[in-house]
Each structure stands twice: as C-alpha cells, then as structure tokens.
Structure 1
Amino acid sequence: MSGREDPLKAEKDFSATLDENIPLIEKLTDYKQAIDKYLVLEKQTRQSSDLASSKRVLVKIVETLVDNNDWDYLDDLLTILSKKHGQLKSSIQTLIKSTIDKLPNLDENVKKELDLKIKLIETIRTITDKKIFVEVERAIVLKNLSEIYLEKFNNLDKATEILCDLQVETYSLMPFQTKIEYILEQIRLTLAKKDFSQAKILSRKILLKSLKNFEKAEYLKSVYLKYLLDISTHERDYISIVKNSLLLIELSNIKENEVEYKSLLVSIIYYIILSSYDNYQSDLINKIKINSVFIKNVDSPIFKLLEIFTTNELIHWSNIEQIYKQEYFDKSDIFKDEINYKNLQKRIVEHNLRIINKYYQFIKLDRLSYLLQLSESQAETNVSELVNSGMINAKINRPQGIVKFDKVNPVPKTSIGNEKGEAPSANESINELLNDWIYDVDKLLEEVDSIGHLINKEEMMYGIKQKA
C-alpha cells in the first residue's frame, strides 16, 4: 500500500473526540493499554479521512513508545501502520518524521541502542522505498545510516554505497540547499574512496551559477570548488585547476584566511605555467599577469614566472632550476610531484620551440638541440609532438639535419593582442577564431555529456515512479 492522496475535507471531524480522550489516555499507568486506545482512535480517524486528527494520534503513539523506551514495538508499528488500508500519504509522512525526530534519543555509543537505531532506520528505509512523498525522510535516514557506518564501523565503502544510492537532485520536495549539501557529502565520500571518476559524475549534478542567493551559498560554493580542485589535480587538468582557483579566491570566506588565500594565489601561478599552451591558457596567463591581487600578495620571484613565460625569449632550464628549485619548488607540494616537475620542463621546451618557430625559418638540428638544452633525438621528438598538436608548423630533413619552420604562425593569440601588444594580423585573427571555436566545441560536448547523464537519471526515476 503506497498511501492515499490527502482528502480535501474529512468525512468526520474527530478533533473534539481527541481533545476529550487524549488527556484520559495519558493518565493510564500501563503504556501498552494507552497504545491500544490510541490505535482505536487511529483507525477511526483514518477511516473518516480526518488528516489533522490522524496526524495527532500517530505523533502520540510515537511519543508514548519513545517515552517508555519501547523501540521494538515502535519498529513493529511503523511497518503495520504504514500499510494500513486507506492510510493517508501525509499521515505516513508524519509517522516517519516523528520517528526520525526521536532517533537522536538513542545513544550511538551504547551498542544496544546503536543496534536499535540501525534497525529503525532500515525499517524506515524499507517503508519509504519508491515512495516519492517520503523521499526527503528517506534521504535523511540514509545520511544518518551512512554516518554510522563511517564513524562507528569505519566502513567507508558501505557508507558511500548507502549515501550514493539516492539521486536527490530529482527530489522535488527537498529544499535546494539540502540537495546541495547531500550531493557534496556524496562527492566527499567518493573522493575519500579515491573514486575520482564517480566523484566527477556527481560533481556535474551541481551548477556553479546556481550556488547563490541562499544562506550558505558562498560556503557551499567554496566546498564545491575545492572538491573540483581535488578531481582536477588527480587528472592533472591544470587549466581547470586555474579556472576554479580563480573563482575560489573571489569568495570572502577564502579571503579571510590569509594563509590559504596566498597559497591559492601561488598555486594559480604554478598551474597556469604548467598548463598546455592554447588560446584559453594564453588569455588566462596574461590576465593573471596584470591582476594587482597577484602583484601585491605573491613573492616577486614567483610572480616573475608569469613574465618569463609570456616574453619572446628562450627560457633556460638550468637558470630556472638554479633560481627556483631549492627556494620555491622543493617547498611546494605541486612540484614535489615528479610528474608535475617533468611537465614543467616540458612546458619550457614547448615555449622555446614556439619562440624559435617565431624567429627561424631554417635551423640545424644540432643547433636546435643546443638551444633547447636537449639531445638531438629529444629535440626531434619534441618538434614532432608540437607539430602533431598543431602548436607549430615544421618539417624535419633528417639527411641534412635541418628543421624547417613554416612562417605562417599557428600560435593562437589572446584577446589582449600579441606578445608585443600589437593588433593581430589577418592570419592571427583566423587562428584565434579557430582556437576559440575548438574550445567552445569542447565545452559544448562536455555540457551535452552532462545533460545526457541527467536525462538518463530522469528516465530511471520516471520508471521507478511508474512502478510505484
């Protein structure tokens, strides 16, 4: 029995009867006799479709059993009353909500009481299965059960499985802020499990632009952005780290924590120079370079990295190591990761190749390897990689040991202009347009993927509703 819809009007009003009988029942010394009398009233109010009176009686039943510490009887009645013929949906909701409100009375540090609590939650879980009108109550008890498995049994897998069982984003009755908090907790547990793929799927259920105009909006936005940073850090998606970090430093609760704020600013600089060069990266690094926040709050040598990576000059890896390694890189968690450190070297090689491409039409392979501070085979490999990625146009003549660069510059320019501050040429404008288009198409495909995921969820929920 899934419960009847609430009536517009009761067939008979039992409010006067309850006003007369409840005080008399409360005086009974045997609580089981009291429950029997309440059950008689429950039947009468249910059969007469008196919703208000039905709710009053059900609340009294829960209160009487809890006051007398008879949780087992309450557990039995939860199932029995929720399945009664003609039971109203709002009455079932009230019965479950009243029980949930009393659950904190059970001490989780006492094994017997903890077992009782788990038993009651499992009963509520069964009663509420596939019932939309009690979906919020179901979410509340499952969150509680998840916390119990995590904190009392140290069972992260079970806690995550329980919490991620629900798609709360489809719950029409759940307040928006509660939905966000629930999804964030799902993401937190999946990240704790190191299940970054699932965490990424869950993160798509939240839209950044929706995190505003409610009480805890800014705090929840900061939590969400930090989770996105964890996911992007695992994937080494440097540009996403920069993008989300730039949003994070705008939040007042982050600005109030000076240590965290300055650490974020430094990490933004490190990650933007680690990002692969394209139109979007070039635009961001130039915007960061002229942002006074970074100029004021970041050590000048670190800030100077922005200048080094945006000028038309070769970068010597040996000089970078000498200046930065011991003083800065060795103290940063970012560059303690060996892969990130190797990627930094790779970005310097890529930068140097772009500069060489800009000024050379032909260059000897041995001269190129000298300028790049690499072996000839390494230089050749790097040229090939950049040609394949479309960053430069070049051909290698192996018999003659010559690299020929195409003078049509494929390097995407930013909205700020080229490196010299000049207006872009026709070719540069075309390349910028194409790079913008490529980036927009990537973003579009990402959104389509996200929408497809949400549509699948909706179809699943619709199927469940039809069966219910």
Structure 2
Amino acid sequence: MGDSDRLVKMEIDYSSVVDQKLKECDELMKDETKLNEVLDRLLPLEKQTRTAADAISTGRVLVAIIKYCYAARQWEQMNEHIITLSKRRSQLKQAITKMVQEAYELVEKTPDLDTKLKLIETLRNVTTGKIFVENERARLTKKLADIYEGQGKTKEAAEILQELQVETYGTMDRREKLEFLLEQMRLCLAKNDYIRTQIISKKINIKAFEDESAHDLKLKYYELMIEMDLHDKNYFDVCQHYKHYYDTPRIKQDSEKMKQALKHVILYLTLSPYNNEQSDFLHRLFLDKNLEEIPKYKELLQRFKTQELIHWKDVLKNFENELKNGTKDDLATNVFAKNDDGNKRWEDFKIRVVEHNMRIMAKYYTRVRTQKMAELLDLTRDEAEQFLSNLVSNKTINAKIDRLQNIVTFQQKQSPQETLNEWSVNLNSLMTIINKTCHLINKEETVHAVRT
C-alpha cells in the first residue's frame, strides 16, 4: 500500500478550537481590510490540524481561507493560497477536495473573464493527477472549453476537452459522463474531426439510453451520429439512426416530429445501396402503421418493395415535387434541399432507382440487348453499361456484356462442381417423390385387397 492510499488516523480532534477561531475571524472580517490578520491566525491552525491528521477540521480551515479571500475580493491571494495549501507536506485528500469544491463554486462569481480564467487554471493545476478531485477537474475543463468556444477557438476547445477520459471515472454519475462524451463529439464535429468523433461515439453504451430520463441525451446522440455519417454518405447507418430517433416515445407522441423522422427513415433507406440487411429493413418498415399518415412516402416505399421496374419519368412526375418542396399541409424534409448536398443526394437517389431496375431485369431476363436495356432504364447505352459495370463490380448482380453482339447475359455460368451439386439435389428430390408415389400405390393396393 502506497503512502497516498494509507488511511491516516486522527490524533487530536481540533473541532472546538476551529469553532472558536472561525468565530473570531468572522468578527474580524466585518472589516475586509483585516484579511491578512485573519489569514495569519488560520494558517498556523491549518498546520496544527493537518499534522494531527484531523481531516474535517483541516477542510473547514481551508474552506474558510477561500471564503475570506472571496469576501475581501482578493482573487490573486486566493489563487496563491490554493496552490500553496494543496502542496503542503502530508496535506489530506479530504481537505483538498473540500477546498477545490468551495473554489469551484466561486468560478461563476468572478468579476471578469481574466479573473475567471486565472482561477480555472489554478484549480486545474491543483487537480492534475489527483483522482479524488477528477470530477471537479472535468467540470472545470468543460467551463474552460465553453469559454474558448465562445471566443471562436473551437479547435482549442475540442483539444482541451479531449484530454478527459471521463469513461474511466468511477465516481462520476452516468448521466454526467454521457453529457461529457456528447460534448466531446459535438466539438470534434465542429472542427470537422470525423475520425475522432467516431472513436468517441464507440465509448458510449447505447443501453444507457433505455432509461426515459436519458432520452434527451439519446436524441442528441443520434443527431450527432447522423451528422457524422452524412459526411461519409453512410446512408444506411443514417437511416438506422433516424429509426432510433423515431422510436423514441417523446418523438412518437408529437405527430409532426414523428412524421418528419419517419420520412427521413424512408428516404435514407431508399438512398442506401441494396443488400440483404437493407431489404430486410425495408420489408419490416413497410409494416409500420404510421405510414398511413404519409401516403406519398408509403407509395415510394412500395415501389422499391415491389419486384417491378421503377420508371424515372414516373418518379419525376409523381414524387419529385413532394419530396423536394412538400405540400401546404405536409412539409418536405431537408434530404433533397436546394443546395449542393441535396442535389448530390438526388443524384444518388436516381442511381438507386437504376440499380433497383437492374436487379429486376437480372431476375426476369437471361439475355437482353444493350439498346433494350437502356430504353427500359431511361438511360443512354453508355450510361446503362456504366451502371451495369458498377453493379457487377459490387457483386450486386452477375452479368456479362458482349459488345460485338450488343447483348447482356445475366445468367451466371456454373462451375462443374455447382452443376454436379444441382444434379445431385435434383436426383435426390426425384427419388424422394418416386418413393412417396410407390408408398401411396402400395397403400391403395392394400386397401383395395381388404375391400375385395
């Protein structure tokens, strides 16, 4: 056991002496100019209580020194005594904690910003490396980060807050930890540090959001996650974030917020590249009864769910205006807003429509002429070939283009092993049917024999 962890037994109880001294000091402090005289009485008393290991009395003396400095508006003197007293030999942890907590309460009572910054810096220096005041250090750092951000120093604010590893703090309340981590994420996004934002986001256990009292933090978390994944165009992740946002009771209870959240879920789902997970999510979402309140979006979802071609001209005619501009009674989302990001997402939406049509064609056709494929997709032949090449590269579909014959073959050539396996399965299926048929014939013959 190290010296810092060893329990120190109190030798003498100075509580009555401290009571008397503080009473005398209170009388003296009615004249604020007598601060030095008061400190001359308290500093020797602090040494006595510290030497006797009377933590409670030492803490009271330290707190009194801070209070008297504040009463006399002697901020410089307060800073000096905080540093000096915390460095005294064998200073007691409980006493330092009490002093730091008292000084922390005075941070917001400082007369100007310069004084405030000096006090925060003093307290941060004193609390460095001391686990027993790690919570106070974290809160002070948060105040300092807020000041920097207010001055437009977002980078400095983010860096100073990133120093805190609040997830390792054993005594900090879970909600406060979440608030610190979310603030770290917000500042990292503010300075466009998306990689660090993602690292911090993984420190948050989303099970903590199951408690209703943490739902405000849950909404804030998913708003930050949406901002982060939109930057990387991870549309399916954005869709899932909006689904968690939508599933929050306080959102579902507000009709307008519920509809807007559900619209975002649908649009980012349709923007997501096709895969098994996306398809499963689409079919489950289609069962949501709240889709009845946004019929146009339900119709859009139905188009992607149905195994039929979606004509782009039909999309422009039936959906473009409502998706981009909304209606008088139903506001549009910001997904396809009239800016660079909105225009890029509209282009991505067209790509998803084409990809959907390509998959449908691969399902119903074995061979098709390039010109016919381009006509069905409302594209030029070169564009159609480009889209097809991308889908084949992504292994979404299997296809080959014979450019001399201008024919696209969707059927994949099977390997000998696959052909043999298919033949074996078919043969087993045939033998099972034959055996079942023989069994039924024997049964009929037996029944007929009994009757005759």
Paired with 2:174 and 2:72, the residues of 1 have a C-alpha distance of 37
Paired with 2:213 and 2:41, the residues of 1 have a C-alpha distance of 46
Structure 2 match to 1:203: 201
1:408 Cα shift?
9.0
Paired with 1:341 and 1:105, the residues of 2 have a C-alpha distance of 52
1:329 Cα shift?
2.3
Paired with 1:56 and 1:244, the residues of 2 have a C-alpha distance of 50
Structure 1 match to 2:21: 21
Matching of residue 73 in structure 1 with residue 77 in structure 2? yes
1:125 Cα shift?
1.3
Contact 2:239 2:269 in 1 (8 A): yes
Structure 1 match to 2:216: 219
Matching of residue 176 in structure 1 with residue 174 in structure 2? yes
Structure 1 match to 2:436: none
1:196 Cα shift?
2.3
- Larger CA deviation: 375-384 vs 79-88: 375-384
Structure 2 match to 1:140: 139
Paired with 2:306 and 2:413, the residues of 1 have a C-alpha distance of 20
Matching of residue 9 in structure 1 with residue 9 in structure 2? yes
Matched position secondary structure for 2:336: helix
Structure 2 match to 1:433: none
1:326 Cα shift?
2.2
1:260 Cα shift?
2.4
Matching of residue 291 in structure 1 with residue 288 in structure 2? yes
1:144 Cα shift?
0.8
Paired with 2:254 and 2:201, the residues of 1 have a C-alpha distance of 25
Structure 2 match to 1:63: 67
Structure 2 match to 1:381: 386
Contact 1:125 1:138 in 2 (8 A): yes
Contact 1:3 1:89 in 2 (8 A): no
Query: Which AA in structure 2 matches 1:133?
Result: F
Which structure has the larger Rg over C-alpha atoms? 2
Contact 1:357 1:407 in 2 (8 A): no
Structure 2 match to 1:443: none
From 151, 157, 160, the counterpart of 2:158: 160
Contact 2:56 2:94 in 1 (8 A): no
TM value normalised by structure 2: 0.84
Query: Which AA in structure 1 matches 2:305?
Result: T
Aligned 1:76-87 pairs, distance under 5 A: 76-87=80-91
From 297, 300, 303, the counterpart of 1:305: 300
Change (3 A) 1:55 1:235: same
Paired with 1:272 and 1:259, the residues of 2 have a C-alpha distance of 20
- Larger CA deviation: 329-338 vs 141-150: 329-338
1:3 Cα shift?
8.6
Query: Which AA in structure 2 matches 1:22?
Result: L
Change (3 A) 1:70 1:262: same
- Count, aligned residues: 401
Contact 1:187 1:202 in 2 (8 A): yes
1:6 Cα shift?
6.6
Paired with 1:150 and 1:381, the residues of 2 have a C-alpha distance of 47
* Deviation by residue 1:138-165 (Cα, 9 ceiling, x = unmatched): 11111111112222x2322222222222
1:357 Cα shift?
0.6
Contact 2:368 2:407 in 1 (8 A): yes
Paired with 1:3 and 1:75, the residues of 2 have a C-alpha distance of 27
* Deviation by residue 1:26-56 (Cα, 9 ceiling, x = unmatched): 2124122111211111111111111111111
Aligned 1:445-460 pairs, distance under 5 A: none
Query: Which AA in structure 1 matches 2:396?
Result: M
Structure 1 match to 2:315: 320
Contact 1:157 1:193 in 2 (8 A): yes
1:65 Cα shift?
0.8
Paired with 1:5 and 1:103, the residues of 2 have a C-alpha distance of 30
Contact 2:101 2:136 in 1 (8 A): yes
Paired with 1:217 and 1:192, the residues of 2 have a C-alpha distance of 23
1:176 Cα shift?
1.4
Change (3 A) 1:408 1:52: farther
Structure 2 match to 1:365: 370
Structure 1 match to 2:335: 334
Matching of residue 190 in structure 1 with residue 202 in structure 2? no
Change (3 A) 1:69 1:119: same
Change (3 A) 1:248 1:327: closer
Contact 1:5 1:89 in 2 (8 A): no
1:4 Cα shift?
4.0
Structure 2 match to 1:462: none
Query: Which AA in structure 2 matches 1:373?
Result: D
1:402 Cα shift?
0.8
Matched position secondary structure for 1:247: helix
Alignment gaps of 5+ in structure 2: 326-331, 415-424, 427-452
Query: Which AA in structure 2 matches 1:211?
Result: F
* Deviation by residue 1:387-408 (Cα, 9 ceiling, x = unmatched): 1211111111111111111269
Query: Which AA in structure 2 matches 1:128?
Result: T
Paired with 2:170 and 2:276, the residues of 1 have a C-alpha distance of 41
Query: Which AA in structure 2 matches 1:48?
Result: A
Q: Report 1 or 2 for greater relative contact order, CA contacts < 8 Å, sequence distance ≥ 6.
A: 1
RMSD of aligned C-alpha atoms? 2.1
Alignment gaps of 5+ in structure 1: 108-112, 410-425, 428-468
Paired with 1:261 and 1:389, the residues of 2 have a C-alpha distance of 35
* Deviation by residue 1:259-280 (Cα, 9 ceiling, x = unmatched): 3221111111111111111011
Matching of residue 99 in structure 1 with residue 103 in structure 2? yes
1:171 Cα shift?
1.5
- Larger CA deviation: 6-15 vs 376-385: 6-15
Structure 1 match to 2:114: 115
Query: Which AA in structure 1 matches 2:20?
Result: E
